[in-house]
Each structure stands twice: as structure tokens, then as C-alpha cells.
Amino acid sequence: MKDILETIIAAKRLEIDRRRAILPPAEFYPQVERSMDAGNILPSMSAALLASSTGIIAEFKRKSPSKGWIRQEARAEEIPLGYQQGGAAALSILSDEAFFGGSDEDIRTARRSGVSLPVLYKNFVIDEYQLYQARHCGASAVLLIAAALSLQDCRQLRDKARQLGLEVLLEMHDEKELDYCRTEPEMYGINNRHLGTFITDVQTSISLIDRLPAEGCKVSESGLSDAGTVLKLRQAGYRGFLMGEYFMRSERPGQRLQEFIRHCTTDPIRNA
């Protein structure tokens, strides 16, 4: 499993090449830019998290490389809207098909169903073409993974994302990747699950919080399943908490989210 990220990125490059052949940038980019000129304003994900009392980013995810199918029949017109109704501060929607069973259409479907919350375009973004995809399908922010990009490429993608009105959640896994903070994203994410080994340790977020810039919104990702842990992370300085599998394994993900948020507001740790 050590080289899973390399495998995913190699597949992603081929996928982008196929998309370019079907819809060249010379046609696609102006189409997206025209929609921006029409005043298609997207909600700010960082602002939503900072304003929220819980900061839950509820994730729509059908499967993962490490655990296979989580919920193969999950419907994008139902679960994301259920998350919104359940009190999520923002949503994350997997748009990678080969490894996570998602697509850009899932985000468009969620928007058509009535989702107005900020949506994170959760994918392995390595090319500006994908930023245009994110903007085109209605995402508010994109994920940039430090382990998948050079520092220069990350900075260039961050700059292009801003030109397209997209915020950036920068994902890091260890202190060796903290140099990427110099790209100054709107959100600094610490993934508790290492993408190479799939080992998950929430202590990763705790140990790195003091190394993150004072400004910007801090997000903890993966391995979150109880209110006590989220509240401890919030006390440490995090304002966003990306959770997917815990909700997606429930028959009613939106209801489980609502119950989880209730625990976050009543847990005794909150008043410690």
C-alpha cells in the first residue's frame, strides 16, 4: 500500500489527458469563465467553518482504496442535502471515480437537489484543468495535497484557484510538509491518515497545530468518530473537522450527523 498515492497520481494524469482530448482547454476554459462573468458567486468554505459552532465538514464518499465500497448505492441527490439539513457547516464530495466511486456530476446533482453550503472538490488535483472542473460543477473550494505536488506547483495551483474564485484546503500529513504553508491557502488541513500507509492517528493534528500559521482556518481530517475528540481538537485551535466514513456507514447519514452535532454541544469536555 506504500505506493498507493503514486498509483493514484499516475492514473489521474491519464484521466486528465483523456478529458483534454474530449474537451480541449481552448473550449472548456472560456465556457467556465463565462459562467463566472454571469455572477455565479460561490459561498466561502473558510468563512462558514470559522462562523460555525461545530465546523463539521460532512463527506459524501462511496468507497476508498483501503476499505473498498462503503456505500455503493449512495445517492448524491439525497445524502448531501441530508447533511445540510442535519447541520453540517460545509460538505466534501469525492469526485474521483476510479478509486472513490465519485464524479463531478455528484456535485452538480447535489447542487440541483438544493445544497447551498460550501462544497469541497475532493480529488487529487495536479493540473489547472481540474480547477476549471471544480468551478464548473459548483464547488467552493479545492483540495491540494502537499504529498502529490511540488511546492512550486502547489503555489501555482493556489494562485489559479483564486483567479477562479475557489478557496484552497491545503492537506499536509507531517512536519516535513509544513513548508507548503508558505503558499498561504485559506485553509490548512492536517490529514491524520497517511496516504501511503493508511495508518491513522489523530495525535498528528494535535502535534502539528502549533506549527501552523496563526492566520487561516485549521482543518483536521480523517479518523474522527467521537464528539470528545472533535471538541479536544477544537480547543487546540481547529475549526474544521472532515468526517465521512462515520456518517456514510449509517442508514441515515444526515440523521447520524445531527446526533453527532448534538453530542458536540452537550459533551462535558466542551465546558472543561
Q: Tens digit of pLDDT per residue, the chain (272 long)?
A: 347 889 999 999 999 999 999 999 999 999 999 988 877 788 999 999 999 999 999 999 999 887 889 999 999 999 999 999 999 999 999 999 999 999 999 999 999 999 999 999 999 999 999 999 999 999 999 999 999 999 999 999 999 999 999 999 999 999 999 999 999 999 999 999 876 667 788 999 999 999 999 989 999 999 898 899 999 999 999 999 999 889 999 999 999 999 999 988 755 444 33
CB-CB contact of 181 with 213 (8 Å): yes
H or E segment at 34? helix 25-37
- What gap in Å lies between CA 258 and CA 128, rounded to an integer? 36
In 3D, which of 173, 143, 179 has the Cα closest to residue 161? Answer: 143
Which amino acid appears at position 180 of this protein? Y
HEC profile of 157-187: HHHHHHHCCCEEEEEECCHHHHHHHHHCCCE
Residue with the three cell numbers 452538480: 108
Domain spanning 4-271, CATH architecture: Alpha-Beta Barrel (3.20)
Question: Any idea which residues carry the catalytic annotation?
Answer: 59, 61, 122, 171, 191, 221-222
Phi-psi region of 103 (alpha: psi -120 to 50; beta: other; left: phi over 0): beta
- What gap in Å lies between CA 62 and CA 248, rounded to an integer? 8
Q: Could you tell me which residues are beta bridge partners of residue 172?
A: 190
